[in-house]
Chains A and B, each alone.
Chain A
Amino acid sequence: MDIVSIYQWLFTETKELPSTVAHFERYPRIPVSDEVTLTPDFTVLFHDGRGIAGEIANTARHEGSIESLCSQLQKYSRLTELPNAGGGMSPVDPIDVLWLTPMETATAAVRRVFERFDDPTHDYKPLRRPVVVQFSSNPDNYVLQFWPDKSVTGALAPTDVFSYADFDEDMKVPPDKFKHVKVKYAFMNDPVKPLYLATRLWTSIFPSQFGTSEEFVATTQEIAEVVKAQYGHVRTADVEAAMGILRAAGLATDAKPRWRVRRRKLRHLGEVHEAIAGLVDRGTSEPRRRKGSSQGELALFDLDSESGLIDPSAVAD
């Protein structure tokens, strides 16, 4: 999610690039046929008709994940329209696929993807070579780096105006630059971790929407609409999963077709995410504050794998 926020900031708020950009879209849904909708992590539509479809992918070791990624990148390379600022679609040509991959696994991932590209017997034949940016997260910043060997990967389409391609150096982006984007857009396209969304619902979304009401009832769809109104994007299935966590924690009951949520103070149980996870672990009985968990020792993203509440492979960028 930080990577999408970084690119949104880069293309819409920096000094040089925004004047070239017609529209940046986070997590668009682009129907390409009656059955198929493509969901890149972001798209950029430029005034001169160029476009970028960005995909952040942490490739796993198994072959299936590489095949799936190749298939995805190939479909993006054939997009002919991208979302515009008016809520519709605009033609795009050429389109570059920007594949973003974590630095620690980039070498193997790039080799395996481009082996397929160069294999005449393989189906992976995108219209243009994908452009690879590897990224890493450091204590002070994120580093984004175009794959140095352009004989292997593609390069962004040439243009007469200043473009991202003209910055072919390591780009270091401190979080201070994009923090406001991150606060505004709390969720990503890939499945949101249920404990994260459950915690967000409890700490921000429910208090904002329902104030100090002791109890409220709402359907999953109604809750999803509230989340969308506040944060712009969420998948209904993710809301369903997050409400399942709150139910397992004894904080909501499933009064089909609605959820009944009883507000209660969790402060005495530690930080909210720990409290929810603790309530789930122990059924609905009152948990004690976790041993060894002093203030802030466990951030939400530490807790996920520990509590087994989510599938670690669902952790996107």
Chain B
Amino acid sequence: MATTLAPLDAAIWTRIQSGQSVDLARMLDGFNEAGEPRVQVAVETVFTDGSHPFDVLRPTGMWSDERSQSGEVEALRLTDDDGEWLLLAIATQSDGVFHLAAAGPRTASRWQRVERWIGRTRDISKCFINHKDLAGIGDELAAYGRVEVVKVAARVARDGSSINRGFPVRDGFERPSHTDEIHEIEQLGASIRTLTLHVVDSVDVHLRRIAGATFNGGSFRVFRDVVLRRLEDAAAVRRQLVSDRARLPGSERVESLTVSLGASILEDADDTGDLLAVVGAMPDFSMAVFHRNPYLHFAVTDEVDGSNFDVMVTRADAVDIFPGYRASAASLARVSQRIGEAFGALTIANARLEEPTSIFELR
């Protein structure tokens, strides 16, 4: 049967089938140099407990699927009503961290489906990257050319309102650099959700806080070396952060994970009620509220794997998650990142180690 794969997918599949290594940068950059139509690539960086994503991902609505691997690239050849396409899983140097990728923009219905499949696969964790990781990608891209912000989408933490700014090319007008724009957004008390960058004479990228990126054109090699590597690093750190966190009997101190919001937005019971609504809407999780005032304290239970957490809000700018005696990495990632995503968190990290308080500070 004649293939209906697009040219890039067909070339990748041929190489995998013949056991040849797949160097996406070489192939994509070769396509561009040959004057082929511009190819976009949507990527989401995920982590697992070590299993391969394709062992646990369950694509639905596809006529057929076929799996094949060569080196660190594994492809799922899928068929839907519009024809055939490839979903790639690219293993990284970091244990349990993979890039899932497909040709096409993020808005394509195929990629939207992929995001839904990932979202409902418990054993695949998305990664909500810290604010500074996003800024760090821009900083590193600056080594390849001037970084210009094309579009930015952000959310104001205090009232949940959105900021969407676009910077068209105009004579006599220079688009802002990522550092200027990030600073301006921070001044508004907002956290960035997506950032579209044009690196002059180098690469066009779209970056998302849910560790994803889209290659929009230019050098895939730069995209790989900077964007994908930084996303890999962020996912590896996050994977380590949420792994092996279950409490152990006899442990001296119960350590929490802190979702730092960057602004004092959980001031009163109405504000913390929003947090309860966010967690309460999570499928497969139940909760029980123990205290509302002078602080919020509730238990969250993963009804599927038994993971459980104590969640506390004792300051208006942070949410603390204390793992219980059963706490899977996937479950902790879901709870912490959902809260982080909903409230535009700056970071998700271990609670700060603080100097002991002097009782004279308690006056």
Contact = CB atoms under 8 A, between A and B. Distances in A.
A183 B312 contact: yes
B83 interface: no
B324 interface: yes
B307 interface: yes
B94 interface: no
B224 interface: no
A15 to B, nearest CB: 4
A199 B288 contact: yes
Interface string B25-36: 000000000000
B61 interface: no
Given A179-B314, A296-B292, A300-B289, A208 B326 contact: yes
B277 interface: yes
Contacts, number: 156
B363 A170 contact: yes
Nearest to A176: B314
Given A182-B297, A294-B273, A301-B291, 12 more contacts: A14-B358, A15-B357, A18-B356, A171-B362, A175-B312, A176-B295, A207-B301, A207-B326, A211-B305, A296-B277, A300-B289, A302-B292
B249 A15 contact: no
Interface of A: 10, 13-18, 137-142, 167, 169-177, 179-180, 182-184, 196, 199-200, 202-204, 207-212, 229-230, 265-267, 271-273, 294-302
A216 B288 CA distance: 22
B253 interface: yes
A299 B289 contact: yes
> Which of B256, B285, B292 has its CB near the most chain A CB atoms (within 10 A)?
B292
Contacts of B297: 179, 182
Contacts of B356: 13-15, 18
Nearest to B293: A139
15 contacts: A172-B362, A173-B362, A175-B295, A179-B295, A179-B297, A179-B314, A199-B288, A203-B288, A208-B308, A208-B324, A208-B325, A212-B304, A212-B305, A300-B288, A300-B291
Interface string B289-330: 111111111111111111110101011000010101110000
A296 B273 contact: yes
B94 to A, nearest CB: 28
B359 interface: yes
Contacts of A204: 299, 301, 308, 310, 324-325
A154 B109 CA distance: 75
A93 to B, nearest CB: 25
A141 B315 CA distance: 11
Nearest to B274: A295
Contacts of A265: 286, 303
Contacts of A184: 253-254
Contact of A16 (B280, B303, B312, B359): B359
Contact of B294 (A142, A167, A266): A142
Contacts of B314: 174-176, 179
Given A171-B359, A177-B357, A207 B308 contact: yes
A205 B167 CA distance: 54
A298 B304 CA distance: 25
Contacts of A142: 294
B306 A296 contact: no
Contacts of A173: 362
Contacts of B300: 203
A142 B291 CA distance: 14
Would you list the 9 A-B pairs with minimal beta carbon distance, nearest first? A296-B276, A208-B325, A207-B306, A272-B288, A176-B314, A175-B295, A203-B299, A175-B314, A208-B326
> Which of B273, B276, B362 has its CB near the most chain A CB atoms (within 10 A)?
B362
B222 to A, nearest CB: 44
B330 to A, nearest CB: 14
A271 B306 contact: no
A169 B359 CA distance: 10
A56 to B, nearest CB: 17
B363 A169 contact: yes
Contacts of B78: none
Contacts of B285: 267
B173 interface: no
A203 B308 contact: yes
A167 B272 contact: no
Contacts of A301: 290-291
A147 to B, nearest CB: 18
Interface string B337-363: 000000000000000000111111011
A267 B286 contact: yes
Contacts of B305: 211-212
A230 B277 contact: no
A138 B293 CA distance: 8
B287 interface: yes
Nearest to B285: A267
A64 B81 CA distance: 81
Contacts of B268: 139
Contact of A230 (B249, B315, B355): B249
B354 to A, nearest CB: 9
Contacts of A13: 356-357
Given A203-B308, A204-B308, A207-B307, A196 B290 contact: yes
B253 A140 contact: no
Contacts of A209: 325
Contact of A210 (B306, B357, B359): B306
A78 to B, nearest CB: 29
B278 to A, nearest CB: 9
B280 to A, nearest CB: 5
A169 to B, nearest CB: 5
A302 B287 CA distance: 16
A204 to B, nearest CB: 5
A273 B253 CA distance: 27
